Structure 1
């Protein structure tokens, strides 16, 4: 993507904020540029009131390449975005949001992955199979974010995930996609699936 993506990221952040997925200053969005750098939301910004000045461009080596405000600093989770872009060269956008359903789903198992229901909506993640068996990776939520990034690198270097998404327990969903529009869609699809899973827990006798 060659055009400046920040105005689209602003619109998507506001959209997610209105859904209750980026309340307060929670969450972070990024989009990659042709030179390998990426724009990411600055730390501590209200996601419902972002402007194009609330982003920092990170160079491929991890340094700050562009900083509209001298006091602004990159999202605390920039290292996770760096890990995703290095692991998946096709990724052009990486979105991370916080939602109540995502956190509830992360508690449905003590394991390091959870089966996703074979809903029609799963096609929105690129799974075109009848009654697919698909698992979503779950990672621990460490206070030190670089530790999360390191575990993402270690885990996905050994085995690629079945879907372009991961769930951090008690924290939220992170997705990556080949385009910004796809990233927005992936978030919406995952959140739909999470709402279904939570509702299923409250529906006696439901089998899926």
Structure 2
């Protein structure tokens, strides 16, 4: 048994598990494939439980059309083959039915990728394919036509989405980012019109994310790195940020600053995906922004940057977020500030943080949460998203009644805030 025979089915099962565990498809919906170096296509089977997929279930389709395996291939095999024929650079495809992207397919619109730079920089090449019967050659022609014109993702009218990339991991990251984008737009729209960024603003953000000199780690601070990777995986499990965008850092007692590397899959972040930031900030960069916050606020030991979808609905519309919803939300977050997008670049962000404001919703960019420990920072992120979600639910059934100031004063007195 060669490496391809083992690696392709294993990768398909691993990514399908991610998709299913994150509620992005159903038992019967969706299919994944990989085109290997021999020209064979490995694809998920038809009629097999996507929540309990095994390596032995994956079907191999050779270049001459012969199938091998214990199942028949997905009925959508024709459009997978047509995409590969139309785009030789694509080596992996995801088709699934995540609710937020299904919503886009029902209204025949693409997700508004301009609402945040991470979406526009990674998901800009998306279009719509006309509806056709599932499994039909016409559906494949409609989808492949859009890929042939340069799209990397295609919304299928009243059906779902297809995403192609050079590897299944890359396709998964783009697929999940697009779903977060669609979800943020859905959660934000009730607050008001969505704001978007232009190409120049996104290019400005892209420069912040580029790698800067960082000191590698060997055996130092393994316990701290393991703890951070565990929290990062919890962030992904809770749907608080996509795998393609999350940064966490921690300042240790010796003033060493550990930070996660950019571009690492959040769900698989390990202790090896952290570096030590140099003593002198290299900038401008997101790493330098972390260091500037630490320099300004000695009490802060952990910083997280994330894209929680309900909270980002506020950040992408400019609607203010009021934490006076339940006592926990106010006590954990207090005042949630919303700086303009430009604050990422003008040096003003560290001064906006104080003991009453450790949560920042950066317009059209991200959420920044700070804490005296990794757990406290994570708690603020989780409480922020749960509170934003509860508020979204409440608006669907009535007008929100915030805790009045007299009761806020009682909270301050009772808990020495």
Correspondence 1:149-164 to 2 at 5 A: 149-157=140-148, 159-161=149-151, 164=152
For residue 201 of structure 1, what is the aligned residue in structure 2? 189
If the length of structure 1 is used for normalisation, what is the TM-score? 0.82
Q: Could you tell me whether the CA contact under 8 Å between 1:124 and 1:185 is conserved in 2?
A: no
**CA apart distance, 1:107:** 3.2
Q: Which has the higher strand share?
A: 1
CA–CA distance in structure 2, aligned partners of residues 185 and 135 of structure 1 = 14
Question: Judging changes above 3 Å, is the alpha-carbon distance between structure 1 residues 96 and 190 closer, same or farther for their aligned structure 2 residues?
Answer: same
Which has the larger displacement, 164-173 or 100-109?
A: 100-109
For residue 257 of structure 2, what is the aligned residue in structure 1? none
For residue 166 of structure 1, what is the aligned residue in structure 2? 154
If the length of structure 2 is used for normalisation, what is the TM-score? 0.43
Aligned residues: CA RMSD:
2.1
For residue 136 of structure 1, what is the aligned residue in structure 2? 126
Residue 150 of structure 1 aligns to a residue in which SS? helix
Q: Could you tell me whether the CA contact under 8 Å between 2:92 and 2:164 is conserved in 1?
A: yes
For residue 105 of structure 2, what is the aligned residue in structure 1? 106
Say yes or no: does 1:184 pair with 2:183.
no
Q: Could you tell me whether the CA contact under 8 Å between 2:94 and 2:164 is conserved in 1?
A: yes
Q: Could you tell me whether the CA contact under 8 Å between 1:105 and 1:198 is conserved in 2?
A: no
- Which has the bigger relative contact order, CA under 8 A and spacing at least 6? 1
Quick check: which has more Rg, 1 or 2?
Answer: 2
Match of 2:116 among 114, 119, 138: 119
Say yes or no: does 1:45 pair with 2:44.
no
Question: Judging changes above 3 Å, is the alpha-carbon distance between structure 1 residues 136 and 155 closer, same or farther for their aligned structure 2 residues?
Answer: closer
**CA apart distance, 1:114:** 6.2
For residue 239 of structure 2, what is the aligned residue in structure 1? none
Instruction: Point out where structure 1 has 5 or more consecutive residues left out of the alignment.
Output: 128-133
Q: Could you tell me whether the CA contact under 8 Å between 1:116 and 1:135 is conserved in 2?
A: no
Q: Which has the higher helix share?
A: 2
Q: Could you tell me whether the CA contact under 8 Å between 1:62 and 1:82 is conserved in 2?
A: no
Match of 2:38 among 27, 35, 39: 35
Residue 53 of structure 2 aligns to a residue in which SS? coil
Q: Could you tell me whether the CA contact under 8 Å between 1:30 and 1:94 is conserved in 2?
A: yes
Q: Could you tell me whether the CA contact under 8 Å between 2:102 and 2:160 is conserved in 1?
A: yes
Question: Judging changes above 3 Å, is the alpha-carbon distance between structure 1 residues 28 and 124 closer, same or farther for their aligned structure 2 residues?
Answer: farther
CA–CA distance in structure 2, aligned partners of residues 185 and 7 of structure 1 = 18
